[in-house]
Structure 1
Amino acid sequence: MSHERHEPDPEVVALASRVFDHARQGHTQDLGTYLDAGVPVNLTNDKGDTLLMLAAYHGHPDTVTLLLDRGADPDRLNDRGQSPLAGAVFKGETEVARVLAEHGADPDIGTPTARETALMFDQRDLLALFDAP
């Protein structure tokens, strides 16, 4: 069995970089075009951040909605054990946190959890959202 290491194709790396930038910058329509063309909705970067994590952390509720509607996993943790919901709470992105919670994101997963993060920053509105029926 060969254990050769293959260098990544520069064109694939450039494409992935563009896709992650669209998520990070909230370019919802452009990102949707890439998803329509077959880019996996749960694609991760070298830190385990999904497109959803990047869109959530950078405060783009429309992009977050698109990704969730396309089947993104709201509870996928990155390599540091952080959830998209905890990232949004940490950054004070209330609308993004609301969208994630409405799509079933679990406030009690990851390290720290979204609930713990909301407690640390005394974000009572988000705590109430997590406890809503």
Structure 2
Amino acid sequence: MCSIKETPLANAAFWAARRGNLALLRLLLNSGRVDVDCRDSHGTTLLMVASYAGHIDCVRELVLQGADINLQRESGTTALFFAAQQGHNDVVRFLFEFGASTECRTKDGGTALLAASQYGHMQVVETLLKHGANIHDQLYDGATALFLAAQGGYLDVIRLLLSSGAKVNQPRQVMSACAERWAGRACCPGDGTTALLKAANKGYNDVIKELLKFSPTLGILKNGTSALHAAVLSGNIKTVALLLEAGADPALRNKANELPAELTKNERILRLLRSKEGHRKS
């Protein structure tokens, strides 16, 4: 293993992989003086650099010269993770042809599927699922691919994940493997939030409409609030109306014993909530 700080030729190889200079990269590799799996001080390989940048020709050259596709950086990231994160579907497909694994995890539990979902790369998500990526992957804080896609408002990704079996009501809660890591913290990130609550908070109404097709929970979640409370707090009247039409109860109280109407001074939202309350009572 060599370091770019120690070997000028390796430094040049990393530059070539980053810039997509295939001729220089090939020249350096063929010289026999640069290891194809050379790493920098963080464990980054030439293949990771080329995959992140989306230089498919350099990726192909490195793999054909024997680069180890599934090597992991200190953070746990792989060439596949970087390609998925950046949306380079041609690189992702090529890496799979040579045995890329979807099971490698980063230190926070990240996988290629989670990264692609978080950044809205629908074609990459589709490719990953076709090659065995686990639809139920979660970060160690409990965030699923569906949660991450909802957080970003990526409707096409959400449709694909739901049609592929993603659980609409899967809460964001800490996985047992890392429970000890979060023990004693004042605010645990695995707070029971769902994709619907996140979309309601952000005002992603098209996402909410899609999620509602799969009967998400409209009541109080484990974190003590509801999607309706979140929508009211966000001040988006269209989101509030959408949830009320779907059956959200304006009389629900959160863990602080607050009604949704008590969380806003927006007169339009208040009238909407009160009209629904009156309709329920009648």
TM-score bin (small chain): 0.7 to 0.9
Question: TM-score, normalization: structure 1?
Answer: 0.82
Contact 1:90 1:118 in 2 (8 A): yes
Deviations 1:21-60 (A, max 9, x none): 0011111121111111111100001111000000000111
Q: Which SS does the other structure have where 2:104 is aligned?
A: coil
Q: Which SS does the other structure have where 2:90 is aligned?
A: helix
1:30 paired residue number? 24
2:71 paired residue number? 76
Task: Report the CA distance between 1:126 and its aligned residue.
Answer: 2.3
Question: TM-score, normalization: structure 2?
Answer: 0.41
Aligned-residue CA RMSD in angstroms? 2.1
2:83 paired residue number? 88
Over 4 Å off, 4+ runs? none
Q: Which SS does the other structure have where 2:51 is aligned?
A: helix
Identity %: 34
Structure 2 runs not aligned, ≥5 long: 134-282
Highest Rg: 1 or 2? 2
Q: How does 1:33-48 map to 2 (within 5 A)?
A: 33-38=27-32, 39-48=34-43
Q: How does 1:52-131 map to 2 (within 5 A)?
A: 52-111=47-106, 112-122=110-120, 123=122, 124-131=125-132
RCO greater where, 1 or 2, for CA within 8 Å and sep 6 or more? 1
2:201 paired residue number? none
Task: Report the CA distance between 1:19 and its aligned residue.
Answer: 1.1
Deviations 1:69-112 (A, max 9, x none): 01100000011110110110001111111111111110111221
1:51 paired residue number? 46
